[in-house]
Structure 1
Amino acid sequence: MLILLPLRLALLGLSLAPVISAHPTGSATPQDVPRGLLPQDPSEDPFYQPPGGFEAEPPGTVLRSRRIVASFFGLLPNLIEAHQLLYRTTAIDGSAISTVTTVFKPLNSKPDRFISFHTAYDSSAVSCQPSYQYQLGSPQTDLILSLEMLVIQIYLLLGYVVASPDYEGPDAAFGPGRLEGTGVLDGIRAVGHHHAALGLDSATPPVVGVGYSGGAIATGWAAGLQPTYAPELDIRGWVAGGTPANLTGTLVFIDGTAFSGFIPSAIVGLNQPSAYGARLQPVLDDIVTDAGRSILETTSTQCAPAALVSFFGRSLFDPAIQTMGRGILHEPTVADILKANTMGANSSETPTAPVFLYHATDDEIIPYANATTLRDAWCSDGADVHFTTFASGGHATTEVIGLPRVIKFVEAAFEGKTAKGCAMDEELSDQLEPLALGVSLEPILVKLLHALMLAGKKDGKLRQDVKVWGEIF
């Protein structure tokens, strides 16, 4: 079945070609990449290695830049201008690390603003970094990230410059929200520092940050950290959907389900040197069995779809994996790390820019109750939050069905027309609003829904598709 993946993605790309070519967003730049050379894995590509002495530079400093050829599913060139910036950011312990952001620029771009888009790559393998997967000729091992390129395309067709950072940092640390949040904020700084080459008017252009699911970890933490970590940024708003606000709640919710593969990926991510490895590794050495170590080692090389297959239906609390059972949640180091990664727990980490949160009641991956707890915490601490409940549909479909509302919020945020205070509403339909974003964008949304292969209520078909992915990957 492995051979069918590029065929399926090629067919999807060909089906999108008429839509995209009818609305050109820029000029292709294949001449910027030597012919016959495929992108290198980040572990081997010298572009990802920071220069000596970079630690002395302030966060957000651009250390290196290049042009790339962006693509749809690694197969079809995306006819836009694309840049990559290596920039300095910050590890959990405050030390200097570096990572990359990819900046997409349409031909008729708005020069006075941009979108920071945080894709849900949900993996602790460096080969799954967005900056690698976005390039023409890269192996498409993360289907989720590949599909979200279609969401980015919507913003590009609307004229926005879009920056998409590798917010998990050089170790691909999936889960530690503070690291991801600073990765987002320093990526925004980097775009500002490189503004002249990107055709932006200012070193501090207005920005709206957007992320769904795993991308909402980065978005939510960036929103909360920005007032103290990067107060100089002109943030106009934040959009976070399907938000994993509480890692403990999410872990317990998905354990033993079709989505339990996210758990070992998060453990590997939290245990990275740039995250909590110095504290967490001794605990894991004491309690993880040989079988558990094998699972973690395998997960460290897998993108999200493969990790879901590998740990399908299994439980972290299985004594064959680790010896503490459910007691692992109360082990002092583990409990402290999980508490430190609970969004909205500290009033000092409250967004000052307006926030749009949205979540499905029947989300089968991220608990709805954790999202409403975050909403209540931020509202009680004075944030401006609009919270929309989607009463039908599931986790993946809500990202697409919610796009018309997201776009309206983004446009209002840039114009300074979002409402003050906290508001809540409910969306009862699970259908895409006809022509909600205009004739030019509707076909992309429809193709995205088809690509997600979600035909049933509450994303029930997704549970079956996870096993299908096992044949593909």
Structure 2
Amino acid sequence: MFALVTSVRLLFMVSMASIFASPWAYSAALPVARGAAEDPSTDPFYQPPAGFESTAPGTILRERSIVASFFGLIPDPVEAHQLLYRTTAINGSAIATVTTIFKPPFAKTDRFISFHTAYDSSATICDPSYNYQLGSVQTDLISSVEMFIMEAYLLLGYIVASPDYEGPDAAFSPGHLEGMGVLDGMRAVTNFNETLGLSANPMIIGTGYSGGAIATGWAASLQPSYAPDLDIKGWVQGGTPANLTATMLYIDDTAFSGFLPAAVAGLAKPSAYGAELSSVINSVLTPLGKSKYEFAQSNCAVADLLEFPEMSLLSTSIQTLGAGLIRQPTVASVLNQNIMGLYKNQTPTAPVFIYHAAQDEIIPYADASTLVDSWCSYGASVNFTTYGNGGHVTTEIVGLPDAVQFVEAAFAGEATSGCHRNTELNNTLNPIALGVELEPILSELINALAIAGKNDENIIQNLNVLKNSI
């Protein structure tokens, strides 16, 4: 968490400077605010009209203009729209979700970027489409902060669309659902081309980091079969949770275990695997486990992290199966369906740029490397950059220039074909490498203090002071 807040502060300062130095910083052409943003659970815009089930995936069901903002307070002087569009649940039924479109002045009109923020939450109040609006209560810090990364693409003249890819019930972590949500969001933006001034069949690149890389990786995997109509030029994904089981075991009982209740809740949502999984989950949760499960369904990622640090999902205090949970047949089946790169028919056909920190303390590096090997063996073109120093959060920031460079090359049709690996920041004498190296060290310090402090009241008190101060 220290690394998260430190990186957020740095990114905020740098990005705010770039925003107010931008050529449209003081534009008088801002749209008129509609009033305070409304919770997606009560906002009628999010409710699909009768009969939408018969429409094609990507069909626009509703549209509106909004005032986009930073942290719900500072207007982002770009043209902004929201579309409710039809997409598809895990079982193939029709569902609807929202994408938010940002169009800068002097936009390139033959292309756009689909930006998949890591909102990592199983509550609809955390939807990016809500948090992007002026007057919204900032429930999801992650998507609000990642707006500054999105701003880099807007400053380069790209139209950017950011979908609520978790769908109408905020299903965090089921890859097929999120992938289809991304692809249908791209279709919806393409169908909105006349209003945006886009060409009829625009070029597209999808990008996402961490939780957003689940959506990106699965969209890349499913696109050849689910949405071959889209003109995809490339994919960018970093800190990729390619294997949900391995990720769960990696962060269980650590400072980042708060992601786990949200992921379980997300997998058991009705649009995901609720029909088969929810009864199993409800039957094994203890009263303590149920309280954490319910908390995750009404709160966002940062609140989850603060609520559940050093919690073990595999403890019998949480669920009665203990370590046997991941071997329970229904649970194991669902988890196996969420491993990227298993099947040749789920291989991206557009070039992919993947980047990951070797010391990533949240998402296992080995799984990203395995994914690269798998996709390459199936004939994909993958550029894989390893950051030899730094951790999960800092790598998203440090890797941005390489991601932008790939985007520019892919749009120009100049992305390298074949598979290539390289390592950056592997020399700790490099000042940037030395700085980012602090993130995994500080994360391990918090974990060590927490473990030691389980039987030491003085350390528990000091750990609480540390967490509250950051």
TM-score, scaled to structure 2: 0.90
CA contact (8 A) 1:211 1:241 kept: yes
Aligned match of 1:198: 196
**Overall identity of the aligned pairs, in %:** 58
**1:430–1:28: structure 2 CA closer, same or farther, 3 Å change rule?**
farther
Deviation at 1:373, TM superposition (A): 0.7
Which residue among 289, 297, 307 is the counterpart of 2:286? Answer: 289
Aligned CA-pair RMSD: 2.4
1:226 Cα deviation (Å)?
0.1
Structure 2 distance, partners of 1:269, 1:346, is 24
Q: Which residue of 1 aligns with 2:236?
A: 239
1:20 partner amino acid: I
The corresponding residue for 1:249 is: 246
User: Does 2:210 align with 1:210?
Assistant: no
Q: In the aligned structure 2, how far is the partner of 1:94 from the partner of 1:277? A: 13
Provide the residue aligned with 1:86 in structure 2: 84
Deviation at 1:321, TM superposition (A): 0.8
CA contact (8 A) 2:60 2:86 kept: yes
Aligned residues: 444
1:88-140 Cα distance to aligned partner (Å, 9 max, x none): 00000000000000000000110110100000000001000000001111111
Q: CA 1:468–1:398 in structure 2 vs 1: closer, same or farther (change >3 Å)?
A: farther
| 1:441 corresponding residue in structure 2 | none
- The CA distance in 2 between the partners of 1:71 and 1:426, in whole Å, is 36
Distance in 2 between residues matched to 1:105 and 1:295, nearest whole Å: 39
> 1:411 maps to which residue?
408
The structural deviation recorded for 1:460 is 3.5
Task: Give the equivalent residue in structure 1 for 2:54.
Answer: 56
Name the CA shift for 1:359/1:180 in 2 (closer, same or farther; >3 Å).
same
Alignment partner of 1:188 out of 186, 189, 193: 186
- Counting only pairs closer than 5 Å after superposition, residues 74-223 of structure 1 correspond to structure 2 as 74-202=72-200, 204-223=201-220
Could you report, residue by residue, the CA deviation over 1:254-299 in whole angstroms, capped at 9, with x for unpaired residues? 0000000111000000000000011001211221111111110011
**With structure 1 as the length reference, what TM-score do the two structures score?**
0.89
Unaligned runs of 5+ in 2: 1-7, 448-462
Asked if the contact 1:363/1:458 (under 8 Å) is kept, the reply is: no
Cα contact 2:22–2:155 (8 A) shared by 1: yes
**Matches of 2:465 and 2:121 in 1, distance apart?**
19
What is the rounded CA distance, in whole Å, between the counterparts of 1:346 and 1:109 in structure 2?
A: 38
Instruction: Pick closer, same or farther for the CA change 1:11–1:236 going to 2, 3 Å.
Output: closer
Residue type of the partner of 1:378? W
The answer to which of 54-63 and 457-466 deviates more is 457-466
Quick one: which amino acid aligns to residue 64 of structure 2? R
Pairing 1:340–2:337 present = yes
Pair 1:423 & 2:420 matched: yes
Matched, 1:47 2:45: yes
Pair 1:155–1:336, CA change in 2 (3 A): same
Indicate the residue corresponding to 1:303 in structure 2: 300
- How much does 1:347 deviate? 1.0
* Deviation (angstroms), 1:456: 5.4
Distance 1:381 1:18 in 2: 44
Which string of whole-angstrom CA distances, capped at 9 and with x for unpartnered residues, describes residues 136-175 of structure 1?
Answer: 1111122221110000000000000000000000000001
Q: Given residue 308 of structure 1, which amino acid in structure 2 is its aligned partner?
A: L
Deviation (angstroms), 1:335:
0.3
Distance 1:15 1:418 in 2: 29
The residue aligned with 1:22 is 21
Tell me, in whole angstroms, the C-alpha distance in 1 between the residues paired with 2:170 and 2:29.
28
User: 1:309·1:469 contact (CA, 8 Å) conserved in 2?
Assistant: no
